[in-house]
């Protein structure tokens, strides 16, 4: 395939957003007053390129931190820890023995990074709404991106921590006193933001000016908002038990799967390549630096075991639980899992992302956030819950056929739902927390992890570990913020 040169075509104006993100990074909770020497919102949002740079900075921040898939996959049953020198926090997540101190700093405090992104999104929403000088199309796209990013962050916060505060303004005085809101309210806000984003975001992939079409799939479109909305409705259906949410999930997924959308399933080998037809939204690889190890994606650097064996920065392999879950003939077992033999021992590892070389003169892979296969399985699950087993099977089989498997034999609702969950386990391993979240939302986490945790070296499974602890520093900084049970 044609290799793509690294460029800064999608990353202009980065100095301003990076400054904003670094400002927020050291603050506790959401107590983030604007610093006296910061560039004013009026100036940032008076010009297209600086306003665009604010949102571009968010995507850069997302790209350089791969720890969400790594951490959640270790917490679940997908990985085996082969080297324990990466971090104490990762070791504790793997053993399902987290505490609030272990995730209180650095890359393992997901709470602060997500709220920092929310702060920038909220500030952008306020600044964009006040601006009268931006190109109208640019302003609408950026507003859509900002509410979309806020929804995306809250989706992960509510699934990692449960009830969380809803900060909808950049006003730190308001945010500092917020209490945790029920997960149902958080989902309602996520859904409202995504519906808003759908009306603002372009249906086309846009270049750095936000005025021209491009083949780069690295800025959110209305399709990305729709993909997350379908997922949010499905999860909200699990939480609320309201059948309307499953219908809404099916409707949103169907919108993406219609023949007129710009997406199609691609071969397993191509599913994580740059700008492939299955990709609904990707995060663009960044130029080489000490933070990305000089590789296309941090996922490749973390999950691929080098020829010399597991190391501090490539510390995990695929678990026996995941390996045994593949059906005979499943090509995902062949294409997405590789192995290296060290001293007579075969170490299997996830190889969805394959480019972990230090040759950064070209890039072949972007981090894929949303892809089409998920929409088929969302539609299948929503239809199965509604009792439409024929359409559930049709959509499930789309994914199975791509993997080289025969059609499902599930014939009852319970069999169909189990088959869909099994397919999700195989299709989405090591991707953005899918397995960890699926175990929780389908209420099988206690049954699964009570077996898995002792075999991973943990003492025993504690159901409280299903939710991560809020970092202790955040609890101490915000007296109205209560800790999750068991910590």
91's CB contacts (< 8 A; 6+ apart) are 81, 84
Task: Decide: 162 and 183 in contact? Cβ < 8 Å.
Answer: yes
Q: Which helix (H) or strand (E) holds 347?
A: strand 345-350
| 171-201 per-position pLDDT tens digit | 988 998 999 999 999 999 999 999 999 999 9
Cα atoms found within 13 Å of the Cα of residue 428, Cβ hemisphere only:
29
121 and 87 in a single domain? The answer is no
Q: How many domains is the chain built from?
A: 2
Domain that holds residue 157: 109-201
Which CATH number belongs to the domain containing residue 149 in this structure? 1.25.40.890
Q: In this structure, what are the phi and psi dihedrals at residue 476, rounded to the nearest 5 degrees?
A: -65, -30
C-alpha pair distances (Å), 18 with each of 21, 23, 74, 146, 292: 5, 8, 30, 16, 16
128 and 152 in a single domain? The answer is yes
| 365-422 per-position pLDDT tens digit | 999 999 999 999 999 999 999 999 999 999 999 999 999 999 999 999 999 999 999 9
113 and 186 in a single domain? The answer is yes
385's CB contacts (< 8 A; 6+ apart) are 237, 243, 246, 413, 417
Residue 173 is assigned to a structural domain of this protein:
yes
Residue 149 is assigned to a structural domain of this protein:
yes
Residue 351 is assigned to a structural domain of this protein:
no
Look at residues 478, 440, 426, 392 and name the one whose alpha carbon lies nearest to residue 75.
440
Residue 6 is assigned to a structural domain of this protein:
no
Encoded tokens for 395: 């959509």
Q: How many helices (H) and strands (E) does the chain have?
A: 20, 8
Residue 150 is assigned to a structural domain of this protein:
yes
What is the C-alpha to C-alpha distance for residues 182 and 165, in angstroms, rounded to an integer? 9
Residues of the chain under the 70 pLDDT cut: 1-42, 64-66, 102-107, 286-296, 358-361
**End position of a domain, from candidates 201, 232, 259:** 201
Task: Decide: 148 and 224 in contact? Cβ < 8 Å.
Answer: yes
Look at residues 191, 253, 278, 229 and name the one whose alpha carbon lies nearest to residue 386.
253
Q: Is the dihedral of CA 458, 463, 467, 472 positive or negative?
A: negative
pLDDT of residue 43: 86
**End position of a domain, from candidates 148, 182, 201:** 201
pLDDT of residue 358: 63
């Amino acid at each position: 395939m044609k290799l793509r040169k690294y460029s800064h075509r999608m990353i202009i104006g980065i100095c301003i957003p990076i400054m904003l993100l670094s400002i927020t990074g050291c603050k506790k909770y959401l107590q983030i007053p604007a610093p006296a020497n910061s560039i004013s919102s009026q100036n940032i949002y008076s010009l297209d390129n600086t306003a665009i740079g604010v949102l571009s900075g968010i995507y850069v921040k997302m790209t350089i931190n791969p720890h969400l898939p790594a951490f959640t996959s270790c917490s679940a049953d997908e990985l085996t820890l082969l080297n324990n020198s990466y971090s104490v926090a990762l070791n504790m997540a793997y053993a399902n023995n987290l505490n609030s101190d272990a995730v209180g700093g650095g890359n393992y405090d997901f709470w602060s990074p997500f709220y920092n992104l929310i702060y920038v999104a909220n500030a952008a929403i306020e600044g964009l709404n006040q601006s009268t000088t931006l190109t109208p199309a640019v302003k609408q796209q950026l507003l859509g991106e900002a509410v979309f990013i806020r929804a995306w962050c809250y989706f992960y916060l509510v699934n990692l921590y449960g009830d969380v505060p809803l900060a909808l303004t950049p006003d730190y005085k308001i945010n500092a006193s917020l209490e945790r809101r029920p997960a149902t309210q958080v989902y309602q806000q996520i859904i409202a933001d995504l519906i808003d984003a759908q009306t603002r975001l372009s249906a086309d992939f846009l270049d750095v000016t936000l005025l021209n079409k491009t083949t780069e799939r690295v800025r959110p479109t209305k399709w990305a908002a729709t993909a997350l909305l379908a997922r949010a409705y499905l999860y909200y259906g699990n939480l609320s038990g309201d059948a309307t949410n499953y219908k809404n999930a099916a409707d949103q997924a169907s919108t993406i799967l219609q023949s007129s959308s710009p997406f199609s399933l691609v071969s397993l080998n191509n599913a994580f390549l740059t700008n492939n037809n299955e990709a609904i939204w990707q995060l663009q690889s960044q130029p080489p630096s000490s933070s990305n190890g000089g590789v296309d994606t941090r996922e490749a650097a973390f999950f691929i075991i080098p020829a010399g064996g597991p190391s501090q920065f490539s510390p995990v392999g695929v678990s026996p639980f995941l390996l045994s879950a593949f059906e005979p003939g499943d090509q995902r077992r062949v294409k997405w899992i590789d192995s290296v033999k060290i001293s007579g021992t075969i170490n299997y590892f996830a190889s969805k992302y394959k480019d972990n070389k230090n040759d950064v003169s070209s890039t072949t892979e972007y981090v894929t956030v949303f892809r089409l296969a998920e929409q088929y399985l969302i539609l299948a699950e929503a239809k199965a819950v509604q009792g439409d087993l024929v359409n559930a099977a049709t959509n499930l089989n789309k994914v199975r056929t791509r993997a080289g498997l025969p059609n499902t034999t599930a014939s009852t609702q319970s069999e169909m739902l189990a088959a869909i969950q099994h397919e999700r386990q195989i299709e989405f391993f090591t991707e953005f927390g899918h397995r960890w979240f699926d175990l929780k939302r389908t209420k099988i986490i206690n049954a699964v992890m009570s077996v898995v945790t002792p075999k991973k070296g943990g003492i025993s499974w504690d159901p409280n570990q299903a939710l991560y602890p809020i970092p202790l520093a955040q609890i101490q900084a915000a007296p109205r913020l209560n800790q999750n049970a068991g910590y």
